Amino acid sequence: SAECTGSAGRGFGGIESRLQSLLDRLPALQDACRTFVRDAEEIALSRRMNSLTLNRHTEILEILEIPQLMDTCVRNGYYEEALELAAYVRRLERKHSAVPVIQGIVREVRQSAQLMLNQLIQQLRGNVQLPACLRVIGFLRRMDALSEAELRLRFLQARDAWLRSVLAAVPDRDPYFHVTKTVEACRVHLFDVVTQYRAIFSDEEPVAAVGGGGGGQALGEGAIFHGWLLQKLCEFLQALERDVRRGAGGRLDALLGQCMYFGLSFGRVGADFRGQLGPLFGRAAAATFRAALGEAVLAFRRDMDSYTLLSAPAVLGGSVAAAPAPVEQPGTLQPPMALLDFPPLACFLNGVLSAFNDLRLCCPIALAQDVTACLEDALGEVR
């Protein structure tokens, strides 16, 4: 009937509108399903990663604790273990250099390695013996942070700092005491440093056996030590001359013997400097002799200012008559008794003889002309 047909038409129209509404909502549903699937996959992946992390928890924790463990080993002096950790971190860096966590670990381990480098070099600044030096240099070489030339330079710088501290601790109030202690300290400690260097670093290869650029590098590495040793000997000679000028020249003979023994001992390592001692002690002896003659001349002038020929016989007459004649010994020279009539001249003669007695203890042949000239000048001033 018409009523049924109309009712059916209205029903189909409603169905059609609802279907259209459903079709309009299907894309949003499709997008929501895709988002759900993607989130589910991410959650599943995260779950798998968490499960894997949980299973590898011990290994991951050990890796994360490497910087702290490295710092503890370095600060407590466990350098062998610290080197093993550093080598392990380098392997991790080669395999996983793009991982941020690994980059952070590498950065912290390098900071601890720098601290270890400073500590090892600081040990060389103390009073360490050859076995300790060998151990420290072995660690530095295994760290591979310094080239061979840099390693030699750092070693010499550290040992030089220690040697300077030893020399600076010597009291310098008394010049003779200071110079004798300086000679002894240099002879013992500088020789120890040379022995340590020659035992650690090898400079025995002949230059002709090393070809090309390597020869220049080997020669340069050897020149580092020889230049340093030459500098130390020059500093010692300067300090020696400075102390002698300050007033340590009263016992030049003993000081010369000590320095000659020092030079002889260094001859075993190819650094015999005894040839430099002759001019130095010659200048010191000449200066001492010249000063003694100068004092004698000044004393003569002072005595002559208060001396009168008229009063001398009256003062000295009785004593001269009572003085017994000295008994001459074979091979000895006696001053003439007439000198007693001229006390200023006798005192001047005593000063000259005292100067020669001091010069006798350390008198190089090269001073013959200088001594003669000084004596002639002094005699010319007392005429």
d(CA 117, CA 79): 10
d(CA 156, CA 146): 14
* Biggest CA-to-CA distance, the chain: 190
Burial of 259 (0-12, 13-18, 19+ CB in 10 A): buried
CB 220 within 8 Å of CB 149: yes
Helix, strand and coil in the chain, % to nearest 5: 85, 0, 15
**What tokens does 294 get?**
């100068």
3-state secondary structure of 327: coil
CB 297 within 8 Å of CB 344: no
Global pTM value? 0.71
- Measured distance between the N- and C-terminal CA atoms of the chain, rounded to whole angstroms: 174
pLDDT at position 49 is: 84
- The domain limits of the chain are 9-55, 62-146, 164-207+215-272, 285-313+335-381
pLDDT at position 319 is: 45
d(CA 185, CA 193): 12
pLDDT at position 160 is: 94
What stretches of the chain adopt beta strand conformation (E)? none
Tell me the mean pLDDT per 10 residues along the chain, length 383: 76 79 83 91 88 79 90 93 92 88 92 94 92 93 89 93 93 88 92 92 50 50 86 92 78 86 87 86 83 85 74 46 53 67 80 82 79 84 74
Torsion of CA 174, 179, 180, 182, to 10 degrees: 120
d(CA 163, CA 185): 9
**What tokens does 28 get?**
């949003």
pLDDT at position 7 is: 79
